[in-house]
Amino acid sequence: NRKFFRFSVGGMRDEAEIKGHRRTYIGAMPGKMIQALKDAQTMNPVIMIDEVDKMGQSYHGDPASALLEVLDPEQNKDFLDHYLDVRADLSNILFIVTANVLDTIPGPLKDRMDILRLSGYIKQEKVEIAKKYLIPRNRKKSGLKSSQVKFTTGAIQELIERYARESGVRGLENNIKKILRKVAVEIVRSQEKKGRRTIRSVTISEKNLEKYLGKPLFTSDRYYEKTPLGVCTGLAWTAMGGATLYVESSGAPSEKTQMKLTGQAGDVMKESAQIAWSYVSAHIKEYAPKLKFFEGEEVHIHIPEGATPKDGPSAGITMVTSLLSLAMKKPVANDLGMTGELTLTGKVLPIGGLKEKLIAAKRSKLKTLIFPKENRRDYDELPEYLKKGVKVHFVDTYQDVFKIAFPGKK
């Protein structure tokens, strides 16, 4: 068993916090590395450096650059703390670094780490966490006994789906706290009023959840019971977990054949739309020999929820399917969802966040899913209960996607 030491570098702006202050300064102290060894009383502890993506920099120096020496196995054998002015061997320490996003971590620092991506909790896991940990802990803090308040499994599931849709459980815990506080107030007030029946027990179910939490924050991901022409359901991966992403296409007469994209799409998604447009333009005869490519039309591609920024290449095959649905006047199946990056030649490339996207698909009651062939290994590693109830097709080219999205066509 190794000793454990944790410290956060979120908001840290001074490299002396890592390497120590020189002794000439008033209030000088050793850096965090030496303090960790002092507290652990050993040279081989496990040190967790938390929130490494939230470090800042100032005229005092850059703590991210100071961490380069700490995490580099070639250099940390002779780590020099400015306060002690003595070399220390950090090579036996096991460092664990945590971050929410990788974008803000400097490249040289990322090169010194093995990156493990941890996906969020699925609904079944959240239900068990709430039952075994969150509810008992917060019930005790609220001064309630287990006999005074009970949560049905359906209420917890409804809470997760409609009030706390996130990758973690922080929002779920906050909502549980809110419910328990209101239940405690109800019970106390019933005891204070004479002649009124004392409330001895409250059961939280789907029926009375809105009474304690108000209107749900999240509604159904499904916009359409029957998918219209030019609409296709994609799958997205966000900071809150997986989500369904509709792509809508419509045409209007115009002097010039052109395409426009709306829905707060980022630069990468704009390029995906251009690739989809070019691919359909070049290959329309393969899929519908009698059709001409949107001659004299302006085609408008829209991604709903316009206030939410969106980016990434994984909607490529969804955009092509949406355009072909509009061109051929043939709707896509209601229960079909897809994700995959598309190249100009029609090759389907792998995507990230497969687990989260599968969970989002099941939440939206999609039965048939299309994933890139190169993601099969990721899919095989998922637990069986996640795969239950959906039929998954793995595709290598867009021709494979077309056969599934438009059965009966060429």
Last residue of a domain, one of 111, 146, 178: 111
> Both 341 and 293 in a single domain?
yes
Per-residue model confidence (pLDDT) at position 331: 92
In a domain, 289, yes or no: yes
What is the rounded distance in angstroms from the CA atom of residue 101 to the CA atom of residue 25? Answer: 35
Tell me, yes or no, whether 147 and 173 share the same domain. Answer: yes
Is 142 marked active-site? no
Q: What is the pLDDT of residues 333-374, one digit of tens each?
A: 999 999 999 999 999 999 988 988 998 888 888 999 999 999
- Please tell me whether residues 132 and 69 are part of one structural domain: no
Catalytic position from the list 142, 357, 362, 364: 357
pLDDT at 195: 60
Q: Are residues 278 and 371 in the same domain?
A: yes
**What is residue 198's predicted lDDT score, i.e. its pLDDT?**
72
The answer to whether residues 129 and 65 belong to one domain is no
| pLDDT (0 to 100) of residue 194 | 66
Single out the catalytic residue among 167, 249, 314, 325: 314
Same domain assignment for residues 36 and 164: no
Report the predicted TM-score, pTM, of the whole model to 2 decimal places.
0.74
Is 106 within the bounds of a domain? Answer: yes
User: In what order do the strands lie in the sheet containing 231-238?
Assistant: 258-262, 297-302, 241-253, 231-238, 336-338, 368-372, 391-395
Can you give the pLDDT at residue 176?
96
354 and 236 in one domain? yes
Regarding whether 22 and 97 lie in a shared domain, the answer is yes
Question: Is the distance from CB of 154 to CB of 206 less than 8 angstroms?
Answer: yes
Domain boundary among 66, 87, 111: 111
Question: What is the predicted pLDDT for the residue at 409?
Answer: 65
314 is a catalytic site residue: yes
- pLDDT at position 237 is 82
Splitting the chain (410 residues) into consecutive groups of 10 residues, what average pLDDT does each group show? Answer: 92 88 89 92 94 84 88 90 91 93 88 87 90 95 91 94 87 95 90 72 91 86 82 84 88 87 90 94 87 84 84 92 93 93 95 88 90 94 89 95 85
The pLDDT assigned to 206 comes to: 92
> Looking at 150, 179, 213, which one is the last position of a domain?
213
Whether residue 144 is found in the same domain as residue 107: no
* Residue type for position 103: D
Residue 400 lies in a domain: yes
Same domain, 95 and 149: no
Tell me, yes or no, whether 225 lies in a domain: no
For residue 74, is it within any domain? yes
* Pair 169, 143 in one domain: yes
267, 329: one domain: yes
What residue numbers bound the domain in which 316 lies? 231-405
Residues 6+ apart with CB under 8 A from 256: 298
Q: Quick one: pLDDT at residue 320? A: 95
pLDDT of residue 168: 86
Q: How many domains does the chain have?
A: 3
CATH number at residue 194: 1.10.8.60
